[in-house]
Chain A
Amino acid sequence: DTGVSQDPRHKITKRGQNVTFRCDPISEHNRLYWYRQTLGQGPEFLTYFQNEAQLEKSRLLSDRFSAERPKGSFSTLEIQRTEQGDSAMYLCASSPTVGTEQYFGPGTRLTVT
Chain B
Amino acid sequence: AQTVTQSQPEMSVQEAETVTLSCTYDTSENNYYLFWYKQPPSRQMILVIRQEAYKQQNATENRFSVNFQKAAKSFSLKISDSQLGDTAMYFCAFMKQPNNAGNMLTFGGGTRLMVKP
The reply on B56 being an interface residue by CB < 8 A is no
Q: Are B104 and A45 touching (Cβ within 8 A)?
A: yes
Q: Are A45 and B106 touching (Cβ within 8 A)?
A: yes
Which residues of chain A are near B43, meaning CB under 8 Å?
Answer: 106
Q: Are B47 and A101 touching (Cβ within 8 A)?
A: yes
Query: A102 contacts which of B4, B103, B108, B109 (Cβ < 8 Å)?
Result: B103
Query: A56 contacts which of B4, B91, B102, B109 (Cβ < 8 Å)?
Result: B102
Q: A42-B110, A100-B33 are in contact. Are A55 and B47 (CB under 8 A)?
A: no
Top 5 nearest A-B pairs (CB, nearest first) are A42-B107, A48-B102, A104-B45, A45-B104, A56-B102
Which residues of chain B are near A104, meaning CB under 8 Å?
Answer: 37, 44-46
Q: Are A100 and B95 touching (Cβ within 8 A)?
A: yes
| 23 sampled A-B residue pairs with Cβ under 8 A | A33-B102, A35-B105, A41-B110, A42-B91, A42-B93, A42-B107, A42-B109, A42-B110, A43-B91, A45-B106, A48-B102, A48-B103, A50-B102, A56-B101, A56-B104, A100-B35, A100-B50, A100-B98, A101-B47, A101-B50, A102-B105, A104-B45, A104-B46
Q: Are B100 and A55 touching (Cβ within 8 A)?
A: yes
